[in-house]
Amino acid sequence: MFKSLQMGIFIFLLASILTMGGVGYYYWQWSQNRIETITANNTKLEQAIELSQQTVKQQQRNLEIQANRLKELNTNLNTIRKEADHMRKLLSNHDLSNLIDKKPSLMEKKQNDANRRFNEELERLTDPESYHE
Amino acid sequence: MSKFFLVLSMTIFLFGCETSKKIELQTKGTPINIIHPSPPSQASLEDYKVINLNNEVVLRLLYPEKTDGEIDEMLKDLQTQIILIAVTPKDYEKIINNAQEMKRIIAEQKEIIIFYKKITREIEKSQETCC
């Protein structure tokens, strides 16, 4: 009776130890896998953060470049518009009919010079090489 | 005893529930947002009148002192046609203004093309050297 009780306790303890060992081993393996996954995830997330930071930095740089160039473009466009306005004002401020009537040869020379200059400017403007500025 | 097995099975079951998902990283190229400058303002061109002068009118203008008979004689002698296209000073001004307007548009378009060339080149360069 006593012996069979002892045997029962022994078997129970052995079974408990084996179960606990199995559970412990399973938990250790599971936790190792988990740590591995988490470490890999962490690395990937760090990479992703770094990549997104680089992208943001790059976008900021691009915006800065564009803003600077846009400022330059607006200045150039204003100069071009001013030049066009200047010619319009010049013509409206002078009575061409009267000037041609009074000084025909002088005006003829001026007109021809202006035409030549205009053509030269247009040629310069449309020169494909000038697009590489 | 049954409590022990219950706790044991619950522990195993709960451990099994808690898993870590693997993160999948996807890298997608994002297009560069380029600011679009406003296009040149529309060309406002003015209409002008062209006057065609034929032989007779030209001769009458060039030789106002000649009589009708003399002009007729000159016309008979004329082997080739003299045709002049004339504009009034006001219309001449309009032609100049129109030409200036065309020049302005070309110049502005050119500046915009240069703008795009510059920024795309600079952005490419900065991406090469960046980070």
Give B67-84 pLDDT, tens digit per residue.
Answer: 989 988 888 888 788 888
User: Is B124 or A18 the better-scoring residue by pLDDT?
Assistant: A18
Q: Which residues of B touch A131 (CB under 8 A)?
A: 110, 113-114, 117
Q: What is the mean pLDDT of residues B21-25?
A: 74
Instruction: Identify the segments of chain A with pLDDT beneath 50.
Output: none
- pLDDT band per the 50, 70, 90 thresholds, residue B129: confident
| More confident of the two residues A36 and B1 | A36
Mind listing the pLDDT tens digit for each residue in B38-77? 788 888 888 888 888 888 888 888 888 999 899 888 888 8
Alpha-helix residue ranges (DSSP H) falling in chain B: 2-17, 55-62, 68-77, 89-129
Q: Which one of A57, A73, A121 has the shortest CB-CB distance to B111?
A: A73
Neighbours of A37 (CB within 10 A): 15
Confirm or reject contact between B131 and chain A (CB < 8 A): yes
pLDDT for the residue numbered B7: 75
CA B37 from centre of chain: 10
pTM of the predicted protein model: 0.68
Alpha-carbon dihedral sign for residues A27, A33, A35, A37: negative
> What's the confidence (pLDDT) of residue B55?
87
Percentage, residues of chain B above pLDDT 90 = 19
Mean predicted lDDT score pLDDT of chain A = 90
Residues of A in contact with B20 (CB under 8 A): 34, 37-38, 41
The per-residue pLDDT for B80 is 80
Cβ neighbours of B93 in A, within 8 Å: 91, 96
pLDDT value of residue B20: 65
Distances (CA, A) of B43 to B37, B40, B98: 17, 8, 8
3-state secondary structure of A102: helix
How far is Cα B70 from Cα B73, in angstroms, rounded to an integer? 5
- B14 contacts chain A (CB < 8 A): no
pLDDT at B32: 66
Residue listed under structure tokens 């219950």: B6
